[in-house]
A and B are shown apart, each in its own frame.
Chain A
């Protein structure tokens, strides 16, 4: 929207005012993320820009904090744990969540609202409540301080995202396609893998990415139910921030930012693809 020539002074003022304000808010949103990246290359153990960094002196920059991650057993273990827990929790949430979303989007589904509310609730209940209650319960059934326990807990937290994205993809899904497939002699299994799944795949994958990001970022439940063997990246960061703030955290943070950029781009591409497949154009 550009400003018409006949705009009054007040209109001009509000037009430029809005632009400035929007720019400031965007700046506020993005600056904390951008500022971490150069600071993670700081040669000194400080959390602010040194003289040398401002003068772009190459000696003021170093990779020592990245080397720290590589050389530290704790960090490497936490990266491994985060990957194991994230991938397993995502697979679990994705499989169960997709099946349930398929059921929920059928016309004949009874108690749809109540079940939907139940499945979304892990996203709404404050994490500290979920974490504390899982702690007591998992201790009783011997799941506390095990990989399986952490994976199950993270899967529950990721399920709302899978349900939301997959049901959104299934809105406007043409049931005639499955009927056509069945009438041509395909059994339900073949119909699902050859007809339904390719159409909802973008939704399933972006739901899975949301679930993975949730697990990869989760720390409260890990604080309560994980043992020292299951410490994840956020758990290490938490410990680092509470005890002694080391710039290694900034290096880890930079790597995590890189990961989130990749996740974001993938999800955006998938969303566009899904809209195109379903014939929704912007």
Chain B
């Protein structure tokens, strides 16, 4: 193949194919490494990523009109929202409702429309009942005489929103917004604005939990890190045991401790500190206390492992150079602990923002968080689109935080215990 140049003739003979063979060998190793990972990646894609993607799809997929009243959907897409729809649309809706009533799909259509504009459910079911007996062909006049709401822009606005197969309406609803009759984005009526408040409350409670974890965890991690190894290992068990104990055990324990006739109240009363029991359970206090307890080890462990690696020499040097203890601590020691501190704090925040079990059990009515609302829409109200949109928004927040965490710590540096 290649002729070796004269210059190199004195140098040891290099096989021209060596490079090729090396590349081949490396490719082989690469493929072998990949093959080891493939089974797990396929498994995770199937049981985790695919379901997640499908749910996110559900949050923008909006097939109810397109599937059940295709003619109406097609006509509505061309309607310009400037004036009342023409005869053709009224006729299509009128006939469609009768068919939907026979096929028993009217309930679902009415529910979905009702979530866009209140009152649509009664309008649809009532009209469908009457339309069944209508034999004429001037649907527009007849429907307007049945109910004046057929002449309102909001009614047709709701149809318009649902006419396309993909929509952002669930995401708008998740942030207390909606399309108005003219197709503009406006905020929901006052009494329906609950989601932004819930999101803010979730952020507030998560921040509180994170703050308490920092305040309680940092000094304890510091104390454990300056103890001799034997003693600190022993005390570390007190941190690790809660970490290993079932979440439900710890939550039930807090119910036992904090409820009206619970351990804390009865102790305080028998000591004469309280005259009547405090309300500490089934409200925000219960949620915050129990969650702080559950997440505290996630704060302590990374902080401790960073503190352990800081040599005491720096502090001594700072002191010997004349720094006051406080100065030495804040200027020399504290900055070195920030990686562990921020890793722990972000982890606690990520975990608490998506918490479900503890708020559901100890939060009562006021201590609920966004996850509980998602569960409500998924299991009780069956408004899956809205539930999926709330889940999608929460997922976005968590993934951004995870990305920051990864930049700061690196997921390969994550340690357990």
B119 contacts partner chain A, Cβ-Cβ < 8 Å? no
A122–B415 contact, CB under 8 A? no
B354–A213 contact, CB under 8 A? no
Complex alpha-carbon distance, A50 and B30, angstroms = 67
Query: 17 more A-B contacts (CB under 8 A) besides A36-B256, A115-B41, A117-B411?
Result: A32-B250, A32-B257, A100-B37, A103-B33, A109-B33, A109-B37, A118-B44, A119-B40, A129-B391, A132-B374, A133-B51, A136-B51, A210-B416, A245-B252, A253-B246, A263-B244, A268-B417
Interface digits, B232-255 against A, CB 8 Å rule (1 contact, 0 not)? 000101111110111111111111
Can you list 29 A-B contacts with CB-CB less than 8 angstroms, sorted by A residue number?
A22-B223, A28-B216, A28-B296, A29-B241, A32-B257, A35-B256, A35-B263, A36-B256, A48-B262, A48-B266, A107-B29, A108-B30, A108-B32, A109-B33, A110-B33, A110-B34, A117-B406, A128-B375, A128-B391, A129-B391, A130-B51, A132-B375, A137-B54, A159-B40, A164-B414, A253-B246, A253-B248, A256-B249, A261-B244
Q: Give B121 Cβ to nearest chain A Cβ, in Å.
A: 25
A87 contacts partner chain B, Cβ-Cβ < 8 Å? no
Stretch from B64-72, B85-93, B172-180, B394-402 forming part of the interface with A? B394-402
A69 contacts partner chain B, Cβ-Cβ < 8 Å? no
B357–A122 contact, CB under 8 A? no
Chain A count of residues within 8 A CB distance of the other chain: 95
A234–B40 contact, CB under 8 A? no
Known: A25-B220, A36-B249, A126-B395. A49 touches B263 (CB 8 A): yes
Q: Give A18 Cβ to nearest chain B Cβ, in Å.
A: 6
For residues 21 through 51 of chain B, which have their beta carbon under 8 Å from a beta carbon of chain A? 26, 29-30, 32-37, 39-41, 43-44, 47-51
Residue of A nearest to B28 (CB): A108
For residues 302 through 348 of chain B, which have their beta carbon under 8 Å from a beta carbon of chain A? 325
Known: A102-B36, A108-B29, A115-B37. A164 touches B219 (CB 8 A): no
Complex alpha-carbon distance, A61 and B23, angstroms = 74
Q: Give B123 Cβ to nearest chain A Cβ, in Å.
A: 30
Complex alpha-carbon distance, A97 and B261, angstroms = 47
Q: Give A195 Cβ to nearest chain B Cβ, in Å.
A: 16
B44–A159 contact, CB under 8 A? yes
For residues 27 through 75 of chain A, which have their beta carbon under 8 Å from a beta carbon of chain B? 28-33, 35-36, 39, 46-49
A33–B253 contact, CB under 8 A? yes
For residues 91 through 147 of chain A, which have their beta carbon under 8 Å from a beta carbon of chain B? 96-97, 99-100, 102-104, 106-110, 113, 115-122, 124-130, 132-138
B285 contacts partner chain A, Cβ-Cβ < 8 Å? no
Which 3 pairs across A and B sit closest by C-beta, in order of nearness?
A: A126-B354, A103-B36, A137-B51
B160 contacts partner chain A, Cβ-Cβ < 8 Å? no
Complex alpha-carbon distance, A29 and B216, angstroms = 10
B41 proximity list for chain A (CB < 8 A): 100, 115, 118-119
B246–A124 contact, CB under 8 A? no
A245–B395 contact, CB under 8 A? no
A249–B371 contact, CB under 8 A? no
Chain A residues in the interface with B (C-beta under 8 A)? 1, 10-11, 14, 18-19, 21-22, 25-26, 28-33, 35-36, 39, 46-49, 96-97, 99-100, 102-104, 106-110, 113, 115-122, 124-130, 132-138, 152-153, 155-156, 159, 161, 164-165, 167-168, 206, 210, 213, 216-217, 219-220, 224, 234, 237-238, 241-242, 245, 249-250, 253, 256-257, 260-261, 263-264, 267-268, 271, 282
Known: A97-B40, A153-B47, A165-B416. A116 touches B52 (CB 8 A): no
B229 contacts partner chain A, Cβ-Cβ < 8 Å? yes
B195 proximity list for chain A (CB < 8 A): none
